[in-house]
Amino acid sequence: MDYAEIRSILHLIGARVPPGSQLVLLGGSALALLGSPRPTIDIDFIGDDLKPSAFHQTILQIARELKVHVEAVPLERFIPLPNGNEERLIHIGPFGNLDVFVADPYSIALSKLDRGADTDFDDVVFLIQNHHIQLGELERILKETLPLAHQFDFHPDIRKHLIELKNRLRQGI
């Protein structure tokens, strides 16, 4: 899916949810809405994957009807959310009754740095190059969250992932 397809799907969802509904996206779909040219295969939103709310169940049902892969992601169970994450949500806009936000870009970057796949590095580079995050602040947040890593499923080599990210930035990859 690309920018236009994601927006179209959000409009279809927004036509069927109650007024005043809000959705916080993350992952490739969120980055596409911020201008990333990389297509994505799904739309991920912040929510409980084990016990979705009635609202999230509605979204998942609409997605099934549309034959679109949409997934609730309990981000707070995967990474220690950085201080101030709620204030850094990026408002994308209304889609009918649905108001859409992109999750805190530092939280997104931290989760992608944790996973460390090639596309994840590309996404963090995109966030830095497009001024959604600053490398120094990402490093500070990583340092602040590392003492909490044992409470989460942080990759044991996340510091090496940061070094790889810096190498890619230096090389312009």
Give 154's pLDDT tier (boundaries 50, 70, 90). Answer: confident
pLDDT of the residue at 150: 82
pLDDT of the residue at 149: 81
Classify the C-alpha dihedral 119-58-91-111 as positive or negative: negative
Beta bridge partners of 26: 44
Pairwise CA distance, residues 76 & 142, whole Å? 15
pLDDT of the residue at 173: 60
Pairwise CA distance, residues 122 & 35, whole Å? 13
Do 145 and 79 contact (CB within 8 A), yes or no? yes
Pairwise CA distance, residues 85 & 164, whole Å? 24
Pairwise CA distance, residues 14 & 35, whole Å? 21
The more confidently predicted of residues 57 and 150 is 57
The stretch 59-67 carries a mean pLDDT of: 96
pLDDT digits (tens, 9 = 90+) for 6-37: 999 999 999 999 999 999 999 999 999 999 99
Do 79 and 154 contact (CB within 8 A), yes or no? yes
pLDDT digits (tens, 9 = 90+) for 70-91: 999 999 999 999 999 999 999 9
- Relative to beta strand 70-73, strand 90-95 is unpaired
For residue 173, give the DSSP letter. Answer: -
The two structure tokens encoding residue 115: 């996973």
In the chain, the percentage of residues whose pLDDT exceeds 70 is 99
pLDDT of the residue at 156: 76
In the chain, the percentage of residues whose pLDDT exceeds 90 is 90
As a whole number, the mean pLDDT across the chain is 95
Q: In the Cβ-directed half-sphere of 150, how many Cα atoms lie within 13 Å? A: 1
pLDDT of the residue at 20: 96
Edge-to-edge order in the sheet of strand 43-46: 70-73, 43-46, 21-26, 98-102, 90-95
